[in-house]
């Protein structure tokens, strides 16, 4: 779908101009380089009396020959320039509609003698109004409808598509703008005058930069004069008009072999700059650079009007296409746009293709966005579902942990009190280790699990000392359920370092003991605890080790109390 955007796939727009004395010209321009790709001209007669092509058969044959020589592709667009039939200005209110403009122009054109027996067709454009902005000023041109219909049919028969028909007046000014000869005038918005000399008249166009101010056409049957008389007639007829203007430059454009623009330039009574342009046998150079031309013999006589035909739109903004709103004009060219550095003629076909492409692009973008939103919504829904599941799991866990086995809620304050009591009991036992141990009692191991489960091992010099320590523990924790679970006699031979403890004791023998409130033996309780990194015991255990004296075999009467 992008093929129609490339210049190679654009149909050619061929400028064709019928100029009396020159013939039927055809040109294809490279608009990017502003040069001629191909040019050709064929003889076609024009009838000034009836203001139409003299022989339409000759016109058709010339058009076919030009297609063949210039290798014009079938279905290419052609824009045709004809000698002026009727050209004028009119001022109308700004609110005037296009249909109202057509009616006004029809009424004005019917005042011209040609249209008293022929229905006119007109093209127009709004131009600068030197009188102010109270009303808009319209420049328009008119041709016989029957002539235009005949031309349309011929163009269609030879396999081309007609894009428009216009007067040589506006096309010549547009061609002059394309050559760049008036760039400085346009840039400075300076006043200038163009004088177009044809076989039967000369016409003045007054301009301010790009603003079309006025025009004056002076009939002159040049062929009825001698060469010298013709020059004098033009000089004398133009002096008063030129002197009444404030123009800074005069362009003399001759399209007849009877008048040389360079010669006329030397005779003009005009003290400002004059530029002579010959589109006749006196021309020395083509108006634009030529890349290729089928007719090199006549390339120098190429007219400004045929250049203006190949450049339908320009910044001059003066295109008076009489087929602008004609549905039978085979996709008329509206304007030329610069796309990616390439001039492209904008036609209704181009607009249709561009609209199709933009619609397709919009559909693709819309589809991608919809798919993206659907995927995003699906992702969000999935995430939301997972979050809801996690919330449900947490609610169930909280409910399960917040209720007892009987479904009753746990008393948090009671739990806190129990933990506090256990902590107090554990602390009280810790205090007894340092403050309530009798003189001849040595503790070798101490175990405390969760504050209320304890086990103490030690050595004492006498049983009364063990009993005193036991009483102290019961005093510190009156509600405890501790018991003397083991009592043995030890000797110095059963343990390394027992001599150090024995030296401290006054008794002949020592007694090892165990006090606890747990059914698990002390050694088993120690083994059941998970090893820690630092000491191999649980963080909830406090183990105090000393050097114990060797244990003697207990007598029958010294078995642990039950």
Q: Which of 367, 384, 410 is the last residue of a domain?
A: 410
Of 418 and 259, the one with more pLDDT: 259
Domain end, chosen from 394, 410, 426, is at 410
**Is 124 within the bounds of a domain?**
yes
Question: Among all chains, which residue has been given the structure tokens 């966005």?
Answer: 369
Question: CA 167, CA 262: separation in Å to the nearest integer?
Answer: 26
How many Å separate Cα 322 from the centre of its chain?
A: 39
Q: Are residues 393 and 462 in the same domain?
A: no
Q: What contacts 57, CB < 8 A, 6 or more positions away? A: none
Domain encompassing residue 493: 414-558
CB 162 within 8 A of CB 323: yes
C-alpha–C-alpha distance, residues 539 and 449, integer Å: 10
Considering the domain architecture, whether residues 445 and 375 belong to the same structural domain is answered as no
Residue 236 is assigned to a structural domain of this protein: no
Same structural domain, 302 and 420: no
**pLDDT tens digits along 335-346:** 556 666 665 656
Sheet with strand 77-82: strands edge to edge: 161-167, 77-82, 13-19, 23-30, 35-42, 289-290
Statement to judge: residues 39 and 161 lie in one domain? yes
Least-confidence region, from 31-40, 116-125, 495-504, 542-551? 542-551
Last residue of a domain, one of 373, 394, 410: 410
Of 325-339, 380-394, 441-455, 509-523, where does mean pLDDT reach its minimum? 325-339
Mean pLDDT over 389-397 rounds to: 82
What pLDDT band is residue 440 in, cutting at 50, 70 and 90? confident
Closest CA to 198 of 17, 19, 46, 27: 19
Long-range contacts of 325-332 (CB under 8 A, 24+ apart): 325/98, 328/152, 329/152, 329/162, 329/163, 329/164, 330/77, 330/156, 330/161, 330/162, 330/163, 331/77, 331/161, 331/163, 332/163, 332/164
Residue 470 counted as domain residue: yes
Residue 551 main-chain phi, psi, to 5 deg? -90, 130
Closest CA to 202 of 245, 231, 163: 231
Region 510-515: what's the mean pLDDT?
A: 87
Say which range, 15-19, 20-24, 228-232, 516-520, has the weakest mean pLDDT: 516-520
Domain assignment present for 203: no
Instruction: Indicate whether 240 belongs to any domain.
Output: no
Could you tell me if 443 and 381 lie in one domain?
A: no
Tell whether 442 and 360 lie within a shared domain: no
Tell me the pLDDT tens digit for each residue of 39-79: 999 999 999 889 999 999 999 999 999 999 998 888 888 99
Q: What is the 3-state secondary structure (H, E, C) of 431-447?
A: HHHHHCCCCCEEEEEEE
Q: Are 552 and 453 found together in one domain?
A: yes
Q: Which residue has the higher pLDDT, 459 or 447?
A: 459
Output the average pLDDT for the chain.
80
Q: Are residues 128 and 55 part of one domain?
A: yes
**Does 91 lie in the same domain as 45?**
yes
pTM to 2 decimal places: 0.60
Query: Same structural domain for residues 401 and 420?
Result: no
Residues 149 and 24 in one domain: yes
How many structural domains is the chain composed of? 3
- Three-state SS for 19? strand
Note whether residue 541 is domain-resident: yes
Q: Between residues 449 and 547, which one has the greater pLDDT? A: 449
**At 306, is the pLDDT very low, low, confident or very high (cuts 50, 70, 90)?**
very high
Q: What percent of the chain has pLDDT over 70?
A: 75
Give the integer Cα–Cα distance in Å for 542 and 457.
12
**Within-domain flag for 420:** yes
Residue 213 lies in a domain: no
Pairwise CA distance, residues 411 & 418, whole Å: 11
pLDDT at 441: 85
Write out the two tokens for 205: 């166009």
**207-216, 325-334, 508-517 — which one is most confidently predicted on average?**
207-216
> Where do we find the tokens 């948090």?
412
Query: How far is CA 536 from each of CA 348, 458, 494, 525, 546, rounded to the nearest angstrom?
Result: 93, 21, 25, 13, 17
Tell me what the mean pLDDT of segment 378-391 comes to: 82
Residue 540 pLDDT class (50, 70, 90 cuts): very low
Whether residues 426 and 305 fall in one domain: no
């Amino acid at each position: 779908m992008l093929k129609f955007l490339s210049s190679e796939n654009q149909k050619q727009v061929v400028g064709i101009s019928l100029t009396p004395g020159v013939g039927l010209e055809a040109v294809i321009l490279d608009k990017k380089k502003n040069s001629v790709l191909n040019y050709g001209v064929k003889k076609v007669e024009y009838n000034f009396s009836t203001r139409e092509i003299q022989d339409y058969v000759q016109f058709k044959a010339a058009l076919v020959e030009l297609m063949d020589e210039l290798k014009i592709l079938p279905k290419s667009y052609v824009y045709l320039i004809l000698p002026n039939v009727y050209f004028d200005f009119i001022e109308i209110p700004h609110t005037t509609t296009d249909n109202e403009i057509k009616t006004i122009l029809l009424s004005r054109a019917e005042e011209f003698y040609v249209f008293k027996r022929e229905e006119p067709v007109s093209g127009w454009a709004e131009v600068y109004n030197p009188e102010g902005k109270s009303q808009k000023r319209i420049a328009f041109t008119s041709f016989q409808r029957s002539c235009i219909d005949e031309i349309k049919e011929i163009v269609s028969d030879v396999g081309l598509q007609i894009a428009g028909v216009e007067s040589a007046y506006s096309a010549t000014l547009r061609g002059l703008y394309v050559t760049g000869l008036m760039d400085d005038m346009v840039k400075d918005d300076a006043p200038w005058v163009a004088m177009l000399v044809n076989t039967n008249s000369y016409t003045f166009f007054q301009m301010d930069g790009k603003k079309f101010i006025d025009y004056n056409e002076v009939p002159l049957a040049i062929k009825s004069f001698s060469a010298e008389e013709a020059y004098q007639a033009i000089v004398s007829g133009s002096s008063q008009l030129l002197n009444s203007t404030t123009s800074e430059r005069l362009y003399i454009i001759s399209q007849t072999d009877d008048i040389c623009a360079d010669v006329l330039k030397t005779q003009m009574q005009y003290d400002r700059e004059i530029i002579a342009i010959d589109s006749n046998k006196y021309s020395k150079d083509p108006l634009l650079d030529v890349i290729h031309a089928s007719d090199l013999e006549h390339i120098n006589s190429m007219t400004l009007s045929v250049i203006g035909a190949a450049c339908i739109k320009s910044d001059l903004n003066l295109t008076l296409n009489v087929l602008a709103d004609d549905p039978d004009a085979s996709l008329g060219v509206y304007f030329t746009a610069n796309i990616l550095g390439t001039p492209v003629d904008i036609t209704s076909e181009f607009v249709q293709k561009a609209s199709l492409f933009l619609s397709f692009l919009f559909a693709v973008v819309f589809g991608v966005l919809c798919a993206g939103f659907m995927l995003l919504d699906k992702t969000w829904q999935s995430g939301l579902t997972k979050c809801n599941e996690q919330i449900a799991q947490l609610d169930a866990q909280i409910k399960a942990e917040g209720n007892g086995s009987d479904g009753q809620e746990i008393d948090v304050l009671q739990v806190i009190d129990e933990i506090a009591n256990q902590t107090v009991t554990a602390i009280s036992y810790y205090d007894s280790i340092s403050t309530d141990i009798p003189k001849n009692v040595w503790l070798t191991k101490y175990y405390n699990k969760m504050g209320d489960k304890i086990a103490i091992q030690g050595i004492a010099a006498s049983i009364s000392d063990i009993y005193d320590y036991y009483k102290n523990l019961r005093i510190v924790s009156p509600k405890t359920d501790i018991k003397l679970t083991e009592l043995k006699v030890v000797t110095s031979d059963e343990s390394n370092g027992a001599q150090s403890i024995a030296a401290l004791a006054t008794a002949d023998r020592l007694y090892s003991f165990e006090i606890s409130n747990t059914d698990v033996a002390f050694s088993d309780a120690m083994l059941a605890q998970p090893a820690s990194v630092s000491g191999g015991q649980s963080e909830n255990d406090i183990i105090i080790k000393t050097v114990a004296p060797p244990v003697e075999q207990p007598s029958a009467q010294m078995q642990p109390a039950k």
